[in-house]
Amino acid sequence: MNKYCKYSKSSLFIYIVLNVITAILSVSIALIIELTIDIVSTGQMDDFRRIVFGALIFMVLYFGFNYLRNFYMQKMINHYIEQLRSLLFRKIMSYSFVGFRKSSTSDYLSLLTNDIQIYQEGIVRSKLCIVQNAISATIVLLALLNTNISITFLIITCTAIIYFLPRLFNNRISLAQEKVSKQLAHITGTASDYLEGFYVISTYNYQKKAGEKFDFTNKKYYEKKNSLDKNLSKSETLSSALSVATELLVLFVSAQFVFMNILNVGKMVAVMQLTGAFVQPLILIMTNLPKISSGRAIEERFLSILNVDENDMGTPKEGSALLPFEKDIELHNIGFSYEEKKEILHGIDLKIRKGKKYAIVGGSGAGKTTLVNIINGIYRQNIVLTSQKINSRYV
């Protein structure tokens, strides 16, 4: 997708800077806690007042930069999705008539609405969240290394376990998301068909049957959606349980270090704060990785539109042109077929003068619409114009 839609380098730089500042402020919480405990234990009231005043300034900065980071992330997401939707729509509109008819209108509508929304939450937002949390985890890790190396390596070991175990659900989640996307497109198609055919449905009292068929389609969608949510819940629950286990293990090890006079109480509390600040971003990364995997199927649908075969595009091939109509249009020996050895038109000769009225008559399936489409240029990529005469190729 980077070939078609991407963030500007300046936008990514600003986003990274905002995340670095926010991460440093988050780490500062542990420092404030450690200093407060140390000051309280020594009974230095003047230092305590300065800490409180500094904490108030810190809260203003923390709120401000968190707001800027979140706002800027949403702005980047909106801009990316705006590019993608416009690009997909322009690509669809550039199809030839034959290429366009390979999919139903409801499929295109689902692609531009439902699939875009799923992709936004499943891949675009998740990628930015992973960047955000990776920066936070890195800065917290540096702070932990500065506090106690042994505890830091313990946390890293537990983190590796937290990372690999939930990945067991990735393939299931990806397959489930693909089924959900296809069923959602089916719902959109069913609803579109019934709404467009409301006059016929109403005329023949088909409302009940239409409702039953839509209910069946809707039920199938939620069965697949529940399967997806079930796998996502398992992955997220396992990640959360492992994170709690990690924090408890670090708590007990830190307490042991206090008994051994390796840490004081202030540093122990700071370590616990940093552990939470380190594990939480990793949990969010683990949560977002399956969402990216599950969005690959939708990304493939987008690429099938963006990488469409040249034969399906509406751009005329080399040597072809739109039909000029200055005085008359003359057709000689027109032949046309949708399938090989099954001709719709054969040996058609026709002269149409400008300003005159003509009627094309024939039985159902005789090729009336096909002939008009050839004259109008609907199948223009298969037609070569020579001296205002049309010589048709078989397609």
Encode the chain in three state secondary structure. Answer: CCCCCCCCHHHHHHHHHHHHHHHHHHHHHHHHHHHHHHHHHHCCHHHHHHHHHHHHHHHHHHHHHHHHHHHHHHHHHHHHHHHHHHHHHHHHHCECHHHHCCCCHHHHHHHHHHHHHHHHHHHHHHHHHHHHHHHHHHHHHHHHHHHCHHHHHHHHHHHHHHHHHHHHHHHHHHHHHHHHHHHHHHHHHHHHHHHHCHHHHHHCCCHHHHHHHHHHHHHHHHHHHHHHHHHHHHHHHHHHHHHHHHHHHHHHHHHHHHHCCCCCHHHHHHHHHHHHHHHHHHHHHHHHHHHHHHCHHHHHHHHHHHCCCHHHECCCCCCCCCCCCCCEEEEEEEEEEEECCEEEEEEEEEEEECCCCCCCCCCCCCCHHHHHHHHHCCCHHHEEEECCEEEECCC
Average pLDDT in the 382-388 region? 40
As given in the structure block, the two tokens for residue 198 are 């409301």
Q: Which pLDDT score is estimated for 57? A: 93
Instruction: Please list, in sequence order, all residues whose beta carbon lies within 8 angstroms of the beta carbon of residue 102, skipping any fewer than 6 positions away.
Output: 312
Instruction: State the pTM of this model.
Output: 0.64
Greater confidence (345 vs 308) lies with 345
Residue 321's pLDDT band, with cuts at 50, 70 and 90, is very low
With CA atoms as reference, report the closest residue to 155 among 143, 167, 165: 143
Residue pair 183/227 in contact (Cβ under 8 Å)? The answer is no
**Sheet harboring 328-339: ordered strands across?**
342-353, 328-339, 389-392, 383-386
With CA atoms as reference, report the closest residue to 196 among 215, 210, 217: 210
Q: Strand pairing of 383-386 and 342-353?
A: unpaired
- CA 162 to CA 383: how far, in whole Å? 61
Least trusted range by pLDDT, from 76-80, 148-152, 238-242, 299-303: 238-242
Backbone dihedral angles phi then psi of residue 50, each to the nearest 5 degrees:
-65, -35
pLDDT digits (tens, 9 = 90+) for 205-216: 888 888 888 899
Q: How far is CA 140 from CA 27, 154, 309, 317, in A?
A: 6, 14, 49, 59
pLDDT digits (tens, 9 = 90+) for 244-284: 888 888 888 888 888 888 888 888 888 888 888 888 888 78
Q: Strand pairing of 383-386 and 389-392?
A: antiparallel
For the chain, the structural domain boundaries read: 9-311, 316-392
The CATH classification number of 9-311 equals 1.20.1560.10
As given in the structure block, the two tokens for residue 71 are 């706002």
Q: Which pLDDT score is estimated for 61? A: 94
Q: Which pLDDT score is estimated for 14? A: 93
Least trusted range by pLDDT, from 53-62, 82-91, 126-135, 161-170: 161-170
Q: Which pLDDT score is estimated for 381? A: 46
Residue 42's pLDDT band, with cuts at 50, 70 and 90, is confident
Residue 13's pLDDT band, with cuts at 50, 70 and 90, is very high
Q: List residues bridging with 91 in a β-sheet.
A: none
- CA 66 to CA 63: how far, in whole Å? 5
pLDDT digits (tens, 9 = 90+) for 124-141: 998 999 999 999 989 998
Q: Strand pairing of 389-392 and 328-339?
A: parallel
- CA 85 to CA 96: how far, in whole Å? 20
- CA 51 to CA 34: how far, in whole Å? 11
Residue 322's pLDDT band, with cuts at 50, 70 and 90, is low
**Cβ neighbours of 211 (radius 10 Å):** 12
Residue pair 292/123 in contact (Cβ under 8 Å)? The answer is yes
Whether residue 371 is predicted with pLDDT greater than 90 in this model: the reply is no
Q: Which pLDDT score is estimated for 338? A: 67
Least trusted range by pLDDT, from 44-48, 258-262, 378-382: 378-382
Average pLDDT in the 22-39 region? 89
Q: List residues bridging with 343 in a β-sheet.
A: 337
Q: How far is CA 153 from CA 28, 141, 150, in A?
A: 21, 10, 5
Residue pair 338/346 in contact (Cβ under 8 Å)? The answer is no
